[in-house]
Homo-oligomer: A and B are copies of this chain.
């Protein structure tokens, strides 16, 4: 079954809003193993709409339309779809009564325009809208199913889940193959290095492997097809196992789990607490850690020590150390990590100090240099990197390495250093295109 998604509205084509409906609808279709082949959008313009409808009918089995069902004169989906396929427009008495009831419940007067929303192409099945005035409808055009839904995301989403998906599922019956997919999140290897490492997995019969960069991470999306769900799941499990075996701890999570959520889960499981001392990341590591609900059970707090005086007063970094080595140094990172660990009485103390730029570099300490340290009861690990990135990405990558250190420390595996990042393709190379 081939699907097309068609969204309608001048506001889309003028770039006034980002169209989130297409991603929602495609994701839902994928849940039924239906592939979306085409996304299209046109203005509230009858000739363009007719062209889009006719083309969709010629190339898709299911067409999901959103938008153009409102009460205003530029809402033209019903009448234009009728014209496109030579159908009459008919008032649906039940839909009209429903719209009247909606206005009565809201205590508002119903305008003549709203009555237009009860007109549908002849042969349509009306799809009720329990939370808005615009009903949707299903029209079968010589075997291609047009499902027309409102453009307002929450109304469209509810209609899709309650009215549209069950009808598509019924049509599908047991025909067609089954698809299972998942998302593996990796940190520490660039997209082209991953591609090279997994080239034999990427296209092997009924399995495909997609890549996606979400700086500073790279995501893998293995997808398996089979004639039954069990078989598809078994294939997916097998390919995930192969990937995890090849990449080891470079894979940090599956699905929606973020790195900070993984870190939180591991800290909680081990009953460990953490405090952070940040210079160049300026609060980003703390902010990520506290993005996770319930983080107060393991995150004790942090110090953003931008000024040297703050490093001395709040973290106990000796003035002599700062004078001798400077704030961007291994000695300072170690003192910050150990200081914050002691001040907060935490099991782990994590520190970042570096030059995110664009200014502040010297030949000895270039822009991009960053020192990290992780203090634990058994001692302090420190290392440094040079990331030739803009300020915002420098901070993001530094924070991600810092969080990944905590994850790796909890797992008891090697912490990422510059050589590992480089060997694996730059970790998360700037500017890999999708």
Contacts and interface: CB of A to CB of B under 8 A. Distances in A.
Interface of A: 9-20, 22-30, 35-43, 48, 67, 69-75, 102, 105-108, 111, 113-114, 117, 129, 131-134, 150-155, 181, 183, 190-193, 195-196, 202-203, 210-213, 221, 275-276, 278, 281-287, 289-291, 293-296, 299-307, 309-310, 313-314, 343-345, 357-359, 386, 388, 390-392, 395, 422, 425-426, 429-434
A75 B433 contact: yes
Contacts of A20: 18
Contact of A306 (B23, B37, B105, B296): B296
Query: What is the copy number of this chain in the assembly?
Result: 2
Contacts of A111: 192-193, 196, 425
A106 B429 contact: yes
Given A13-B35, A426-B106, A431-B155, A290 B300 contact: no
B432 A132 contact: yes
B434 A132 contact: no
B191 A70 contact: yes
Given A13-B26, A16-B27, A27-B14, A431 B131 contact: yes
A432 B17 contact: no
Given A11-B210, A11-B221, A108-B426, 12 more contacts: A12-B39, A13-B35, A14-B210, A16-B27, A37-B42, A39-B42, A73-B195, A283-B284, A293-B391, A302-B306, A303-B303, A314-B343
A332 B134 CA distance: 39
A215 to B, nearest CB: 8
Given A28-B15, A36-B15, A191-B71, A431 B282 contact: no
Contacts of A27: 14-16
